[in-house]
Amino acid sequence: MDQLPELYAVFQGEVASVTEYGAFIKIPGTPKQGLVHKSQMSNCRVDKPSEMVDVGEKVWVKLIGKEKKDDKLKLSLSMKVVNQGTGKDLDPNNVVLDQEARKKCSFRDYTNQKITLEAVLNTVCKKCGCPGHFAKDCFMQPGGTKYTLIPEDEPNTDLEASDSTNSDNGNQPARKKAKRKEKNSPSRKRKKKHHKKKHKE
């Protein structure tokens, strides 16, 4: 442990082996190796780590994690936060690493959990045998939910009566106009003239 680099230290190491999920890097001054996962090799998506590095190649890495499991120390390394030409730390404040750690913590795997949906439409009442409601909501059960009919609106006779009177009053001027037209009609005037002639004779 004392000979290992400190956490977030940047150093140059040699590629010991390449796998489908990443590359193992030799830690200088120790017999231990650290893993650069393919997600830490580049900011772009890496499908084949063998296309990124070769065995024996020297790369700049940053120690981003130490985990002790089953009496074995696992070291996690990153290449994408270090300039491979100069060895400069591109994430000195570990902002990128913190964001990635938060994403991992916020992600939860729900694939093993069963989702059950309860629909009221699939239920059958034990009291009346009808589908679509529970026994406690059945109106057939004493003390259950009671439903009342909404009374229909009765027609307002006063309004109808007033409308009829208004309609009658409204027709009166029309009748007067019709009588005036009859008085002033040409046929009526002719009858008056004919009656005057007979009277003179």
- pLDDT, tens only, 94-129: 998 888 888 776 555 555 655 555 555 567 777 777
As given in the structure block, the two tokens for residue 67 are 């985990």
* Predicted local confidence at residue 49, as pLDDT: 95
What is the DSSP track for 115-129? -----GGG-B-TTT-
DSSP state of 73: E
131 vs 133: CA distance, rounded Å: 6
Let me know if domain 9-92 sits in CATH 2.40.50.140: yes
* Predicted local confidence at residue 154, as pLDDT: 59
* Predicted local confidence at residue 130, as pLDDT: 75
* Predicted local confidence at residue 131, as pLDDT: 73
Q: Which of 102, 96, 84 has the alpha carbon at shortest distance from 10? A: 84
Confidence of residue 21 (pLDDT cuts 50, 70, 90): very high
Domain limits, the chain: 9-92
Mean pLDDT of the chain: 75
Rounded to 10 degrees, the C-alpha dihedral 100/104/49/18 comes to 110
* Predicted local confidence at residue 104, as pLDDT: 72
* Predicted local confidence at residue 14, as pLDDT: 96
pLDDT in tens, 159-179: 555 555 555 555 555 555 555
Q: Which of 66, 3, 54 has the alpha carbon at shortest distance from 25? A: 54
Strand, helix or coil at 13? Answer: strand
Enumerate the β-bridge partners of residue 36: 23, 77
